[in-house]
Amino acid sequence: MTVLLPGATLGVMGGGQLGRMFVHAAQRMGYFTAVLDPDASSPAGRVSHHHVQADYLDEAGLAKLASQADAITTEFENVPAQALARLAAQRFVAPAAAAVAIAQDRALEKEHFTRCGVPCAPNAVVNDEQDLARIGDDLLPGILKTARLGYDGKGQVRVRTREELRAAWDGLKRAPCVLEKMLPLAFECSVVVARGRDGAIVHLPVQHNLHRDGILAVTEVYAGNVAPDQAQRAIEATKAIAAGLQYVGVLCVEFFGLEDGSLVVNEMAPRPHNSGHWSIEGADVSQFELQVRTLAGLPLTQPRQHSPSIMLNLLGDLWFARGAEAVTPDWAAVLALPGTHLHLYGKTEARKGRKMGHLTLTGPSVEAVRAAARQACALLGLPGF
């Protein structure tokens, strides 16, 4: 495949906020864009040059996207892998269907991590009664997770005893699951890499993450946010995972840092990631420009962070801080803080737990950006960190 220069059309499966930010990055670089999403009001579809309103497996919709786009990517991992495989028969698709299929199944994902020599938390697959009976007590307490379609803490249940494990599996409708042993966590982090068709690979700095109720709340990115040796191990592990997939595109891998100083991999996302949003303002090449470059076959340059950065997730709960009626937060007060960058995703309705946007804060020093971020949290009614 030849390099696609600006003026070509880049397609994306999925119309959410990640697709919207990809579209913005592609358009800024001079590309036309096409989005396939069933929602007429999808955030990405509303800003793209073309919007194919169709189900992800709709043959006519896939054919239309293939006719409009010169190359196609995906903005979330639950786009059916078979849809990407069908598109790949006509157009260059990155990431490939095979890589996305592994990311869609926790059991396959953990097998891949093991093949790449990257340690996971002790775990066991639960497909049937026999698997449940074979689970040893050494895996408890643990977290039972559905093998497929889980995200932002959904499809996960903490269990302490065998009785709770059985009840949790019943509650998840006996779907295929993975039980992971709970480990003594010190912190969570993630690494975003971009890998080209030629095998070239670059990465963003390691991102220190704080989750609340299974949803990312705060990402901090600056020197010293993670110990240098742990950061280097996370970067090398992520590169190995990407290379093992022969991956092309942007990939994020999440890790748990344990109290003993070791790292275990949690999961991967075959796309840009919430924890990498800071890079739009905090680095000279964002994760979304990297997605454009990998899809178009453009050279990859190592991103350089130019400012300490903190990203705050903005959930729909903020609109209901004063009661049952939705009230728009006081963005003017927040934007009065130095170094604030507001991103709202164009979603038509605020709902509790729904990602409505994010706020990135950049500053001349770690102390300055942390102080501004804490002020922003106070103004918005967010918990401190």
Tell me if 153 is assigned to a ligand binding site.
yes
- For Cα atoms 90, 93, 98, give the angle at the middle one, nearest 5 degrees: 110
Tell me if 367 is assigned to a ligand binding site.
no
The H or E element containing residue 340 is strand 340-344
Tell me if 31 is assigned to a ligand binding site.
no
Cβ-Cβ contacts under 8 Å for 319 (sequence gap 6 or more): 326, 327, 328, 329, 350, 356
Tell me if 110 is assigned to a ligand binding site.
no
Tell me if 56 is assigned to a ligand binding site.
no
Tell me if 222 is assigned to a ligand binding site.
no
Tell me if 352 is assigned to a ligand binding site.
no
SS3 (DSSP) at 4: coil
Length of the chain equals 385
Tell me if 347 is assigned to a ligand binding site.
no
- For Cα atoms 147, 186, 118, give the angle at the middle one, nearest 5 degrees: 50
Tell me if 276 is assigned to a ligand binding site.
no
Tell me if 145 is assigned to a ligand binding site.
yes
Tell me if 316 is assigned to a ligand binding site.
no
Tell me if 181 is assigned to a ligand binding site.
yes
Tell me if 267 is assigned to a ligand binding site.
yes
| Cβ 69 vs Cβ 11: under 8 Å | yes
Tell me if 257 is assigned to a ligand binding site.
no
Tell me if 211 is assigned to a ligand binding site.
yes
What CA–CA distance (Å, rounded) separates 262 from 281? Answer: 31
What CA–CA distance (Å, rounded) separates 218 from 361? Answer: 11
Instruction: Give the residue numbers of the binding site.
Output: 106, 145, 150-156, 180-183, 188, 211, 266-267
Instruction: Give the residue numbers of the binding site for ATP.
Output: 106, 145, 150-156, 180-183, 188, 211, 266-267
